Structure 1
Amino acid sequence: MTPRQLRRTRFVALGLLMLAGCVNYLDRSAVAIANAPIRESLGLSRGEMGVLLSAFSWSYGLSQIPVGILIDRYGPRRLLTAGLCVWSAAQAAAGLVGGLGAFIGARLALGIGESPLYLAGTKVCTAWWDPSRRALPIGIFNASSALGPAIAPPILTALILAFGWRIAFIAIGVAGLLVAVAWHGLYRDPQRGERPDAHVEAALDPAPGWRALLRTRTSWGMAIGFFGVIYTTWLYGAWLPDYLHSVLHLSLRQVGVWAAVPQVCGFGGALLGGAVSHLLGRRGVSPIAACTRPLIAALLLAALATAALAFCTSAALAVVLASLALFCANLASSCGWALAAVATTSGSVATLEAIQNVGGSLGGALAPMLTGFLVQATGSFTPALLTGAAISAGAALVYAAAVRPVAARSDP
């Protein structure tokens, strides 16, 4: 493959992954943005809404390790195509539900369908970029996890106000099916010897299997630490619109504008995370340290901003603090995704990412549900926000204490 062909292949792959990531987070964000009309339409309490918001993350988390193993074995093209089709159908089906049980079923199916995306995306970046250059494309791709929530409030609010929440869900489900067609038609997995660093990868020791990975302190540290990262992002992603609406008394139309501001800042943080890790690596910092140093600092700042938000009474200051928290949390997320790509060999990167993302998914499942019940029990968001701040700070300590390179040894 010529350098020009390689650049074009990388550009197409990264562009399609970004597009899929944006649609992915439109789907995830839909329930949070439509929180009030869904509760009114189906007669749900805040506790029941918390369960609904969490349902996605339970199936998403349980799917991670088997899907990661399949991606390492069969490649990202087929697995992500199937995932796009499943999650898009589930999202459209959610627009047709008549009660809480069916809605939870649709969200569980959505979690299964979306489980390959970020594992496959990291696998693609690992396949087409050499180890010293992976942090930047992984950071750019991971930024879609912030760009999607940033564009979701205005897009979904406009659809909901114009057509109702059910049509909004069906519309973004159709958009996902179109992305599935584009991905399957335009992307292909690399063949042996096509990458310029193929001789380097071939010289590496055998990739550790999932059992070997689960025996390492680093794998557990990454999973527990990522629990805190995703808990923080889901705390804001799931409940910020309702916080702005019910606590600070913004209208639904105003929420559609102001809830997007922190998510835009999160997009900037996600982009910066990959760039910072890339820059530190080029300056001679070890690949592991280039990911963990900015990650730890960002989590501590996110904890401070979230704790301050717990006592905020100004809408403007609340948006500023939420913006800082999401900027830092998404910077940490980008560094976390880049970490697995440098902590093990390319043959097991999706499996290690899956182990890490099981922890992240548990955080994503717990944040909406625990927040909903805490708010319902206390009548205030303050305990929920202080809990989120403590979890973010704890995750920073776990990353500092536990993460080291994973030895490449075969699975027995």
Structure 2
Amino acid sequence: MQKEKSTNYRWGVVGMLFMALTINYMDRQVLSLTWKDFIAPEFHWTNNDYGTITGLFSIFYAIGMLFAGRFMDWMGTKKGFMWAIGIWSLGACLHAFCGLATAAIVTGVWPESFRGAVEALSVVKNTTLIASVSVYLFVIARFVLAIGEAGNFPASIKAVAEYFPKKDRGFATSIFNSGAAIGPLIAPLTIPFLAKAYGWEMAFIIIGATGFIWMAFWVFLYKKPEENKWINAAELTYIQQDEKEFEELKAASTLERKVTYRQAFRHKQTWAFAAGKFMSDGAWWFFLFWTPAYLSSVYGLDSTQSAPQIFVMYAISMLSLVGGWLPTYYVDKKRMNPYEGRMKSMLIFAFIPLIVLFAQPLGYISVWIPVIIIGVALAAHQSWSANLFSTIGDMFPKHAIGTITGIGGLAGGIASFIMNKGSGVLFDYAESSSLSLLGFKGIESGYFIVFCLCAVTYLIGWSIMRALVPKYKIITEL
């Protein structure tokens, strides 16, 4: 009998996961690409106001990560992902109505249109009240967005586990995870132009609505492999080739107790991972949220003019693909244990962001120099981050990975809040006081200070991790 040719439906699932993460990153980028040119003039925002909004988003996202994995296990992949993207798409669209709500609260009359809200606010003399009310409303919208977005990665990992054997999961994950780079690539080429043509409100609505479109496909196309009519027996056999091992692990897991946070914090490995996240996530979120404002404040480029620079910056960040290869080289060729190979790789990636020290000093030559430097630093961060997450699996049992990941995510969120909020306060102070530092004046000196911090935090984080866990040690007592 002729052997049945396998279908490849599982790769279509990866494609949907890739689209979801792309939408995810576009939704969170709308604010950073519109606030400086469109939103701040309307609501009289300062850098401090924007820092408050982005900082709290980081906290909300981190807290959401603590519970998202357990929620996905409870709801299941299909329903859980539906809830996640539905909530974050709603949150994205809610941003558009913050102007209407601000005008209604300040004036006591609900405007009939977005343009009517702008006109109503333009005659109000109490600009401090407008700024305060609008910031609170954007924080609420940002909270909804963050809680929904926190479910993206746990749901995607769960879907990959359902549709791929173990040996293919790393490759499948790397494909859908590339959406974290593609989303920021597409965002500057679309969002500023939508805001300029139709208003910043429509930019939020149009980009946010793509999530609801994705949901329409997901509800019909995603089913468990054994229930999916588009998967034939050959592909199902391939997907379930680890089924026997899975059943053994499932039986063993009934003997394991759930890991508590108190138990996790007893181990230096937990603190090491949390320290690595705390020292590195702040830099990533700063560049993600503040680079468009940096190009505007220092180089006078509005969001449409800076679109090529933002695109190139994130295109360079895709060099991070080498981050997954280097530890394998050290393990296979240099015979290092996984932790040693990963830590050596992370040390290399920790040195690369030091080039950010030269972004401002060399920026007078061309705007492209800091853009390229930041892009390289972002690539180093993604390589660092991929290996940092892998250290959990190197040292902790599988049933503890979710708990440790959540702890690290919270640490990174706290750092991101401090970095974003602190940057906003610093930039306003530097601008108002004409702060002078090493030849830089005003807000340029503020960016120089933050760039210096972003450059050295990775080496500090690596040093703390190495001090806490100097040698490879597997945790067996959890």
What are the superposed Cα offsets for residues 103-140 of structure 1, whole Å, 9 maximum, x if unpaired? 11000111111111122223344555555654433333
For residue 28 of structure 2, what is the amino acid of its counterpart? R
Q: 1:217 to 1:162 in 2, by over 3 A?
A: same
Secondary structure of the residue aligned to 1:328 is helix
1:196-345 superposed matches below 5 A: 196-204=241-249, 206=253, 209-211=258-260, 212-269=263-320, 271-277=321-327, 286-302=337-353, 304-314=354-364, 315-341=367-393, 343-345=395-397
Match of 2:200 among 161, 165, 168: 165
- Report the counterpart of residue 451 of structure 2 in structure 1: 385
Match of 1:152 among 170, 184, 187: 187
1:10-409 superposed matches below 5 A: 11-36=11-36, 37-98=38-99, 99-129=134-164, 133-189=168-224, 195-204=240-249, 206=253, 209-211=258-260, 212-269=263-320, 271-277=321-327, 286-302=337-353, 304-314=354-364, 315-341=367-393, 343-378=395-430, 379=443, 380=445, 381-402=447-468, 407=475
For residue 307 of structure 1, what is the amino acid of its counterpart? L
Secondary structure of the residue aligned to 2:312 is helix
Q: 1:181 to 1:113 in 2, by over 3 A?
A: same
Runs (5+) with no aligned partner, structure 1: none
Distance 1:76 1:250 in 2: 43
What are the superposed Cα offsets for residues 163-190 of structure 1, whole Å, 9 maximum, x if unpaired? 1211000111100112223333333456
Instruction: Verify the 8 A CA contact 1:142 1:334 in the aligned structure 2.
Output: no
Instruction: Verify the 8 A CA contact 1:344 1:405 in the aligned structure 2.
Output: no
TM-score normalised to structure 1 length: 0.87
* Deviation for aligned residue 1:330: 1.7
* Deviation for aligned residue 1:247: 0.8
Instruction: Verify the 8 A CA contact 2:272 2:465 in the aligned structure 1.
Output: yes
What are the superposed Cα offsets for residues 193-226 of structure 1, whole Å, 9 maximum, x if unpaired? 9632333344455366341444332233222212
Distance 1:289 1:202 in 2: 32
Q: 1:28 to 1:364 in 2, by over 3 A?
A: farther
Distance 1:203 1:397 in 2: 39
Instruction: Verify the 8 A CA contact 1:135 1:275 in the aligned structure 2.
Output: no
Distance 1:228 1:185 in 2: 42
TM-score normalised to structure 2 length: 0.76
Secondary structure of the residue aligned to 1:253 is coil
What are the superposed Cα offsets for residues 66-101 of structure 1, whole Å, 9 maximum, x if unpaired? 222233454433322211000000100101102221
For residue 393 of structure 1, what is the amino acid of its counterpart? L
For residue 356 of structure 2, what is the amino acid of its counterpart? T
Secondary structure of the residue aligned to 1:97 is helix
More divergent stretch after superposition (250-259 vs 199-208): 199-208
More divergent stretch after superposition (49-58 vs 398-407): 398-407
Distance 1:136 1:279 in 2: 17
More divergent stretch after superposition (304-313 vs 194-203): 194-203
More divergent stretch after superposition (222-231 vs 163-172): 222-231
Distance 2:329 2:242 in 1: 20
* Deviation for aligned residue 1:277: 4.7
Instruction: Verify the 8 A CA contact 1:208 1:348 in the aligned structure 2.
Output: no
- Report the counterpart of residue 124 of structure 2 in structure 1: none
RMSD in angstroms over aligned alpha carbons?
A: 2.9
* Deviation for aligned residue 1:58: 1.3
* Deviation for aligned residue 1:328: 0.7
For residue 183 of structure 1, what is the amino acid of its counterpart? W
Instruction: Verify the 8 A CA contact 1:299 1:393 in the aligned structure 2.
Output: yes
Instruction: Verify the 8 A CA contact 1:146 1:264 in the aligned structure 2.
Output: yes
Distance 1:400 1:178 in 2: 46
Runs (5+) with no aligned partner, structure 2: 100-133, 227-235, 431-442
For residue 461 of structure 2, what is the amino acid of its counterpart? A
What are the superposed Cα offsets for residues 232-285 of structure 1, whole Å, 9 maximum, x if unpaired? 21111111111111112234322111122111111331x333344566666565
Distance 1:189 1:352 in 2: 28
For residue 317 of structure 2, what is the amino acid of its counterpart? G
Instruction: Verify the 8 A CA contact 1:375 1:384 in the aligned structure 2.
Output: no
Q: 1:134 to 1:292 in 2, by over 3 A?
A: farther
